[in-house]
Chain A
């Protein structure tokens, strides 16, 4: 997923926060390896790390489910006979638009499933629709159900990408379909959910990038220093849409992730000082520096900023603002951030 420009809503991707803010947040300068890896979702380590940050978490049960989806969940729960549940699941499977054999590709395939499952999203009128196939009828039904859920949440207020990012699969367990469907690390079902989520978001990002005109972004050295840039960037970015769109430069930028980070931090936090340093080379060979996650190789950053938005806030809350601004990057190629967050009064003091 290239993050050259996005249509991310200003409210940010709150559901990603549990993964973003988990991790030791003691020192600003510490390299943070938050459990961005998908498999840690809901894991014990995550829960332990987020103990002290409970107030910041968006608990899955608090995530709003659209009425239609709630109805489906309730219906399944109410049916005592598992066979009837499966019958219903199969009827969802039958309603899926067919997926021809040519689209049964590795890229579309869910890993870690005992059966073979392929999922392909497409965007129509700004919403993501799904086609899927499987050699297992029940798994196809699950894919259909997930696709339907993703479609229904897109009907909620807020933008499609945000709603899809917020969607989590916990409600499936309450439907009583089978104990084998409980989300867990090696679970094929969870992999299916995450692949669908990732593909949908990628598709929406691409759609957004194509929709917005390419604008010239002053990335690179200019962003390293002064206040001047902090003031200038929002003005530039705002011409192309609510959260900025377009590419990282007139041509193809070689540092698209950094460009995007600079732009967002500038917009959201209006810093007096902003420094975004790519430290990925120091982490080459690190498990977080895989090429597939970041085609540009930008995975580890040090960010230092002075912003009036930080005034009066404890460090933890300052970091949270940074993470909110950079949620998309953190969910994607960026594996660690080293943060130095000051308010203007801190600088004045010392």
Chain B
């Protein structure tokens, strides 16, 4: 067990932010206030949100995550790489295990007991995910292998049909490779032009003025990252949706760093597709031709030609990742139980703490906007004169797990004039003590290289 959790000092969060959406927004940046109201079919009732008090996050959650209780190189694990992947709580592990032990079976076309049970669980997971993001129904949720596949699906299935020479696809310089390369390929195939929204020079966020200027009647699709995995900046999605639709463009939002971290209301967001660890939605699906062909996604198959199932099945060929989807459903429920508002509030506080402590270390540069502008909890940084990989290697030996490299954002690093960066990304089970440990070990690592 993690000895450090014995006397948790989770920072007191603003209780008022629990009460209503509006109050929460009042405590944050003006930009987030423009986000639309949650509908009645929200993640859970306001009463349930009130009971998920913020103090229940952080140290109190660590018991739910078995993987956190281990030592690395003789030191307690301090896992700060949630931007790459977060850990699975016991309920999710249990769901996966139950499936494999009790009712593993192929879904959808079996009549027998196990197949029926697996199908029910799989479709229920779809509904759970839909509830998490306030989609109108599970029919708007397509399970893919990963978000990358999801974006490729849209870029090909929709892109091939709708993009012509002279059309423009608008992305940004900060995109993850998964929201960049598929559009590069689509433009190469169709003759469309790829354009990139730059960053604001002072706050390192996506430049909304430049975005507005770059939009035109030629823009057919806008694909932007909702929360940057490197900069931590948060997109004003309402504004982007409004402006994109005004010029008649479709909007895809990469929500991989937002769905697990803050309330995401897809109906309010106004995007045509969102991608988040295997999840997408919208009417647009109905009009999209298949991406990959095979079993399950068909209605009738002839020797030469076939007809296709309606979405979401149309986009789920072959045996799906059944256990993973069921696990995802359990995870969606778990997060819903905590309350995504509470998650966001916790991340804002621990993120601010991390940002402030990191910025105070001499020689450290933290990328992205300051917390006052609104940002994710993650912090990408560099130490002057040291390579990110050297720093993270030393940190690893103290049991602190951070990521180093280009975080699948090579163009962004080139834009910022750097080769690599290190990134610490806390989540709901990280504590202030762990941030303290990270900072201490970072300072130690810096001295090590300076004195060597």
Contacts and interface: CB of A to CB of B under 8 A. Distances in A.
B386 A137 contact: yes
Given A82-B73, A83-B394, A135-B419, A115 B389 contact: yes
B390 interface: yes
Nearest to A113: B389
A114 B389 contact: yes
A345 interface: no
Contacts of A136: 387, 389-390
B419 A137 contact: no
Contacts of B390: 115, 136-139
Interface in A54-113: 82-83, 86-87, 90-91, 94
A83 B395 CA distance: 10
A27 B390 CA distance: 51
A139 B389 contact: yes
A136 B449 CA distance: 11
B interface bracket (residues with beta carbon within 8 Å of A) = 10 to 19
B299 to A, nearest CB: 41
A178 B406 CA distance: 20
A101 to B, nearest CB: 15
A interface bracket (residues with beta carbon within 8 Å of B) = 10 to 19
A83 B448 contact: yes
B282 interface: no
Contact of B397 (A83, A90, A94): A83
A114 B404 contact: yes
Contacts of A114: 388-389, 404-406, 420
A178 B395 CA distance: 12
Contact of A138 (B389, B406, B420): B389
A292 interface: no
Nearest to A90: B452
A137 B397 contact: no
A50 interface: no
A115 B386 contact: no
Interface string B71-91: 001000000000000000000
A286 to B, nearest CB: 26
B393 A138 contact: yes
Interface of B: 73, 386-390, 393-394, 396-397, 404-406, 419-420, 448-449, 452
Nearest to A134: B387
Nearest to B448: A83
Contacts of A87: 448, 452
A86 B419 CA distance: 22
A86 B393 CA distance: 10
Given A91-B452, A137-B449, A138-B393, A115 B73 contact: no
A114 B406 CA distance: 8
A115 B420 contact: yes
A241 to B, nearest CB: 45
Contacts of A116: 419
A116 to B, nearest CB: 6
Nearest to B405: A114
Contacts of A178: 393, 396
A180 B420 contact: no
A137 B389 CA distance: 9
Interface string A126-157: 00000000111111000000000000000000
Contacts of A137: 386-387, 390, 449, 452
B393 A180 contact: yes
A343 B419 CA distance: 59
Given A114-B389, A134-B387, 13 more contacts: A82-B73, A82-B397, A87-B448, A90-B452, A91-B452, A114-B404, A114-B406, A115-B419, A115-B420, A137-B449, A138-B387, A178-B393, A180-B393
A228 B420 CA distance: 63
